[in-house]
Structures are given as structure tokens and as C-alpha cells.
Copies of this chain bind each other. A is one copy, B any other.
């Protein structure tokens, strides 16, 4: 057997421990697949621990571990975007390949990190950064490499999906389910990153780059959380044959012609009504799934655990197994020549495109509208006339009987419309005398 591959793990929390356990459990399989021995030589942790194999060096100086001669691959699992960035850049500078599960780090600093890695002839692998154990980065960068990707839609935050699933299945309100998710350890004490969609936006930025060959542009992701979703809307959606999921979308829009500013890419995270019978609508609990529509393949779906020690360790070690093959190349030039490795963002750096990211007002989606009105004759006529004047096509209407307060919720599903048009229409609807409340709007996608 050839020489061992030496790993350093920075950070030994849940995921780091998962990686250690995976190597212990599956070492035989790893060797049978790679033909190499794989050993953890060093761990970077703040405080010494006595439950660690004495053959492994424990180092509280993470920068030193990142540069250690005793290490081929540095696995960054400390999280955050400050120290993590420093150690990753330091590892790259010292010629180490890097594996990271850190979506925030890459979404915010990936362009800089990947360029630095190219410069130093090393790879930064990040399968674990998106959708946990689902090998979606490999699928999109390699498995779908011959396709032109039109759009993708993903459940890429397990906490959000758990909450949406429980609300529908058990008829429990948002706040109630969130508390349970926190108790179960699915959601953080501060759940903002999950329920406001920031975590999903990080992952979407990465997926969009490798789908379309564009630089990372996390700051341009339109992001809407699920805190405003009520049981009422969940139930109306079901009644109409839809289910509300918190999805990230990356969509390529061809526009209407040359010089047209409607051409570009939509990057958006928001609650979405999707057809009940779509597989994506039936991905429940903390599971993640990504649906990719590409030419000529059509739709493919990838589903699995998006978080947790085992799933994340699986992705981290899949990256290590890829790097083991790279390390089999004799000279450094071979390890990183353009003809040879999968580009960090799927497309070779000099061919990344400057396709613009569309503004929210330019985005095109269908809509679910819930309008509350006094039960006066003519209100439905007023609303539908406003929509029709704005060129918005109605796909379905559900008018429930007046409830005890004398208000009638009217539910309207529309065909896809440019957001700016919808904004204008809603403004007009809300000015009608018969309308008693703000219009509730949730996007809708047929996934067709």
C-alpha cells in the first residue's frame, strides 16, 4: 500500500467527532476503495482532551496545525467566518488541500478563497457545505456536467423543513413547533439563521454558482423567512392541492431580447406553494432535497439528510476520498492543472460569467394571495379587475363563507407574474374600501 494520507481536523465538535467515528467504523472500506491508508495525525482544538487516541497530536495553535508538515489535508470544522477564514487561507498558503463544511465562510468569502487556492495549486472541497450528506456538489459539478442547468429548487434547511412539516401534519402553529425544534436540538437557541432563510441563502449562493458558472453572490440573494406562515395559509394551500415549503430557487431567465434587462439570474429563498403530488412536497421532517431542471436531462431529484454528524462526516470524507486520488498524482502541477481537476465553481475561473442577478422586482413567480374583505357585493369583481388590468392571470379562486366578524377571506392563485406588477396590483387592492387587512402573499411554483 502506498504512503498514508494524513489528515488534520480543526474543531472536534459534533461533526469533527462524526468524522473520527466514520474513520474508525469504515477504515477497511476506505482502504479498499482508495488503496491508501488514511490517518488522522493532528487535531486542532482549544483545550487538550484525554479521550483522544494518543497517536494523534493535539494542538491548540490551529494556525500551526493548518501548516503542519505532518498533514496532507486540513479539514476545517470550527465554523464562523473569522478564525475559520484565517486557518483556511493559512492552510492554502502552506500547500495543504482543504475540506470544509462551512457554508457561511464560502458563501461570503469563497471567491477570494478559491482564487487563492488556484494560485497555490491546491483544492478546497466543500461537499458538506450544502445539503449535508447528499452529494449535490459532486452531482452538479460532475454528474450533470454535460447539461445546461435551467433552474433548481431546494429544501436546503432541515430546521425550516421540520417546522413546515409539523405545522401541516399536526396542525401546530409556527412558534409551538419552533420551540420543539429547539428542544430536539434541530434549531439553535437563536433560530434566525434557519427560520429567516440566511442559512439557506448561503447554500443557494453556492448551488447557483456551480449551476450557472457565476461568482458567488450571497449578498444578492433575495431572502424571506417562514416566521409569517400561519396555519390558515397551510390549510388553504392543502385545500387547493398545494403544500408550503421553504425553498431556495436559482433560475436562469433568458429575457425578452437583446439589451433587455429582464435577462439574468434569480436567486431567492422564500416560502413557496408547490403541488402536493410533487416529490419535493413529500420530502418531510429534517430531510433536504434538491430538484434540478437541466437540458437535456430534465428533472432529477436528490434527497437525504441535510445535517447531523453522520451525514456531514459522510460528505467531508467523500471530499477526502477525492483528494486522495489527487494526491496520487506525482507532481503538484498535475494535481491542479485546468485539464485535470474539477473547477471549484464547476466552470474554469476565467470562464465564469457576469450574468446579472435580477432584483426582487424583476423576479417572476406565481402567487397565492389571501385577501380579507367585508362581504360586500362587488368586492371579488374589484379584485379580479385590478389583477386583470395588471396583466395577472388567475389560476384558481377559493372564497370561503363569511365568518363571524363579517369578513370573507378570498384566496387567489395566480399564474407567474413579474413581481413589480404584483406589487402595484396589491397596492391597489389594499386601497379598496372593502378590504380590511393587508393582503397576504406567498409565492407559488408548479415546478414544471
Chain B residues in 8 Å Cβ range of A296: 18, 21-22, 25-26, 309-311, 313-314
Minimum CB–CB distance for A223 against chain B, Å? 27
Contact B304 A142 (CB under 8 A): no
Contact A297 B311 (CB under 8 A): yes
Interface residues of A (CB under 8 A from B): 2, 18, 21-22, 25-26, 29-36, 127, 133-135, 138-139, 142-148, 213, 277, 279, 282-283, 294-305, 309-311, 313-314, 316-318, 320-322, 324-330, 334, 337-343, 346-348, 351, 353
Contact B300 A303 (CB under 8 A): yes
Chain B residues in 8 Å Cβ range of A309: 296
Contact A310 B328 (CB under 8 A): no
Contact B145 A33 (CB under 8 A): yes
Name the residue on B nearest A337 (C-beta).
B328
Minimum CB–CB distance for A418 against chain B, Å? 27
Chain B residues in 8 Å Cβ range of A30: 145-146
Q: List 6 A-B contacts (CB under 8 A).
A: A32-B347, A36-B339, A139-B143, A146-B320, A303-B303, A329-B329
Minimum CB–CB distance for A125 against chain B, Å? 12
Name the residue on B nearest A139 (C-beta).
B135
Number of copies: 2
Contact A334 B330 (CB under 8 A): yes
CA gap between A26 and B297 in the complex, in Å:
12
CA gap between A305 and B18 in the complex, in Å:
34
Minimum CB–CB distance for A303 against chain B, Å? 4
Known interface pairs A143-B139, A317-B146. Does A351 touch B31 (Cβ–Cβ under 8 Å)?
yes
Chain B residues in 8 Å Cβ range of A316: 146
Option from B32, B139, B353 in Cβ contact (under 8 Å) with A348: B32
CA gap between A299 and B134 in the complex, in Å:
10
Known interface pairs A26-B295, A35-B351. Does A142 touch B330 (Cβ–Cβ under 8 Å)?
no
Contact A318 B32 (CB under 8 A): no
Nearest 5 A/B pairs, CB to CB: A328-B339, A135-B143, A296-B310, A146-B317, A300-B304
